[in-house]
Amino acid sequence: MGPVSRLIPELQQSWPLPDQPQPIVILGTGGIVRAAHLPAYQKAGFPVAAVFDIHNERSREVAQEFGIPRVFGSLAEAVGAPGVIFDVAVPPEHILGILQQLPPHSAVLIQKPMGRNLEEARLIRQVCRERRLVAAINFQLRFSALMLALRDALQCGLLGTVTDVEVRLNLRTEWEHYPFLKELERVELQIHSVHYLDAIRWLIGDPRAVHAVTLRDPRYFELNSTRSIVILNYGDEIRCGLSINHNHTFGPKFQAAMFKIEGTRGAAVGTLGVHPDSGPSDALEITTEGTDWIPITLQGRWFPDAFIGPMANLQRVATGQDPGLPASVEDAYRTMALVEACYLSNRSGGTPIPE
C-alpha cells in the first residue's frame, strides 16, 4: 500500500446524493431542525414540501425563514401527503405515536434516540416492521466527513488491526437550547453520547459488555445527567472508552472533543465539531507505518453537513439506488441496547471494595 498522502483523495467523505430527490415533509420544527436539518437539506438541494408542528406559529416562522411552501395544520393532514419522504424530528416520547399514523410502506427518517429507553425502542421497531416502513434512525455522526473517512481508512487497512478507541469530551454544552431535556429521566448517554456509542459500533462492531457511570453536575441539577464514563469490553486486545464532561466552564484552553483510533499499523485522531453554531470545525489527522501525521482536508463538519447523509441514503433506498440503510431501525436497536446496558451498569453501582 502506498503512502497515506496518496490515499487521501480516495477516502470517502460524503454519501452519494439521490439522482431524483423526493419531496420531504418534516414533522417537528424545533431547534435541531432549524440549526441542522433545513440548512443541510438546502445545501444538498433536497426539496422540503411542507412542515408541521403542534406549535403552529413556530412552524410558520420556520417555513417563512427557509422558504417552505406549505405548513400543515394537523398531523393527520401532514401524514396524508402522497409521494413524500417523512422526517420525524420530535422529542423521543412522541416518535411512537407518529409512526403509528404513517401510511404503510412510507419512507421515514426518525430523530435519534430511538425512544426514551429500550422498551420504547422495541415498540418502535415493532411498528416499523408491522407497517413495513422504510425506516432509519438519524444517527448522522456516522455520515459526517470525519467518520466516513475514518471508516474508509479502517477498511483500506491504513491503521491495521484496531487496538485502541478513545472518545474524550470536555466542554460546555448549551443544553438550554433544548428545554425538553429537563423532563427526561435519561439525558447524557441517551441524547448525546448515544452518537459516540453508535459510531463505535459502526466502526469496530458490537462490544461484549459495558461498564458505565453517568451522573449529574451540582451546578446543573435541572438535568438528570451531563457527565459519563464508559468502558466498552471488546476482549483483551482492544481498549475502548469514553470520558464525557459537558460542564467545563473554564474557557477554551483545555476544552476537548476528540475521537481517537489506534491500530497495529497506524492511528487517526479526529476533532469533533459538536456545537451547531460555534466551536472548532471537524478535523482529522492520520499516520500509518511510520509516516508523519498528515492532516486530512475534510469536506464539511458534523453540524449541519452530516445531516445530508442519512436523508440521502434513505432517498436512495426509497428509489432503488442503495441496497440498504446503514442506520436502519433494526441496526439502531442494537445501539439502543448498548445504551440500555450502560444504564444497567450505572444502576449496579460497581463492585464493592473488599474489606
Task: Pick left, alpha or beta for residue 276 (phi over 0 → left; psi -120 to 50 → alpha; otherwise beta).
Answer: alpha
Summarize the confidence of residues 116-134 as an average pLDDT: 97
For the chain, the domain total comes to 2
C-alpha to C-alpha distance for 301 and 281, rounded to whole angstroms = 6
Q: Percentage of residues in the chain with pLDDT exceeding 70?
A: 96
In a domain, 5, yes or no: no
C-alpha to C-alpha distance for 258 and 340, rounded to whole angstroms = 24
Which of 254, 270, 302 is at the close of a domain? 302
The set of cell numbers assigned to 63 is 417555513
* Residue entry with cell 469514553: 242
C-alpha to C-alpha distance for 83 and 314, rounded to whole angstroms = 14
Checking if the pLDDT of 71 tops 90, the result is yes
Q: Cβ(139)–Cβ(112) under 8 Å?
A: yes
- 29 and 108 in a common domain: yes
The set of cell numbers assigned to 88 is 420525524
Task: Determine the pLDDT at residue 32.
Answer: 93
Query: Which has the minimum average pLDDT: 74-88, 252-266, 289-303?
Result: 289-303
Residue 312: name the closest of 291, 326, 297 by CA. Answer: 326
- 320 and 295 in a common domain: no
Length of the chain equals 355
Query: Which has the minimum average pLDDT: 3-12, 193-202, 233-242, 280-289?
Result: 3-12
CATH classification of the domain holding 30: 3.40.50.720
Q: Cβ(187)–Cβ(316) under 8 Å?
A: no
- 263 and 237 in a common domain: yes
CATH classification of the domain holding 195: 3.30.360.10
- 287 and 206 in a common domain: yes
With cut-offs at 50, 70 and 90, classify the pLDDT of residue 273. Answer: confident
Checking if the pLDDT of 9 tops 60, the result is no
Name the average pLDDT for the chain.
Answer: 94
Summarize the confidence of residues 328-336 as an average pLDDT: 98
DSSP-derived secondary structure letter, 263: E
Task: Classify burial at 58, counting beta carbons within 10 Å of its beta carbon; exposed 0-12, middle 13-18, buried 19 or more.
Answer: middle
Q: Percentage of residues in the chain with pLDDT exceeding 90?
A: 87
Summarize the confidence of residues 258-271 as an average pLDDT: 97
In a domain, 338, yes or no: no
* Residue entry with cell 486530512: 296
Task: Determine the pLDDT at residue 214.
Answer: 97
Query: Which distant-in-sequence residues (6+ apart) come within 8 Å of 286 by Cβ?
Result: 4, 153, 158, 159, 266, 267, 268, 293, 294, 296
The set of cell numbers assigned to 47 is 426539496
C-alpha to C-alpha distance for 350 and 209, rounded to whole angstroms = 14
- 158 and 137 in a common domain: no
Task: Determine the pLDDT at residue 277.
Answer: 53
* pTM (predicted TM-score): 0.94
Query: Which has the minimum average pLDDT: 127-131, 218-222, 281-285?
Result: 218-222
- 166 and 55 in a common domain: no
C-alpha to C-alpha distance for 33 and 43, rounded to whole angstroms = 14
In a domain, 151, yes or no: yes
- 265 and 216 in a common domain: yes
Summarize the confidence of residues 61-71 as an average pLDDT: 98
Task: Determine the pLDDT at residue 324.
Answer: 97
In a domain, 343, yes or no: no
Task: Determine the pLDDT at residue 278.
Answer: 54
- 32 and 84 in a common domain: yes
In a domain, 106, yes or no: yes
Task: Determine the pLDDT at residue 2.
Answer: 45
In a domain, 182, yes or no: yes
- 134 and 168 in a common domain: no
Q: Cβ(109)–Cβ(88) under 8 Å?
A: yes
Q: Cβ(72)–Cβ(29) under 8 Å?
A: no
- 62 and 189 in a common domain: no
Which of 302, 318, 341 is at the close of a domain? 302
- 254 and 218 in a common domain: yes
Task: Classify burial at 24, counting beta carbons within 10 Å of its beta carbon; exposed 0-12, middle 13-18, buried 19 or more.
Answer: buried
In a domain, 3, yes or no: no
Beta strand 227-233 with 239-245 is antiparallel
Provide the domain limits for residue 197.
Answer: 145-302
Task: Determine the pLDDT at residue 180.
Answer: 82
With cut-offs at 50, 70 and 90, classify the pLDDT of residue 49. Answer: very high
With cut-offs at 50, 70 and 90, classify the pLDDT of residue 1. Answer: very low
- 257 and 215 in a common domain: yes
Residue 109: name the closest of 135, 127, 143 by CA. Answer: 135
C-alpha to C-alpha distance for 255 and 250, rounded to whole angstroms = 8
In a domain, 256, yes or no: yes
Task: Determine the pLDDT at residue 136.
Answer: 98
Each residue's pLDDT tens digit, 176-192? 777 888 888 999 999 99
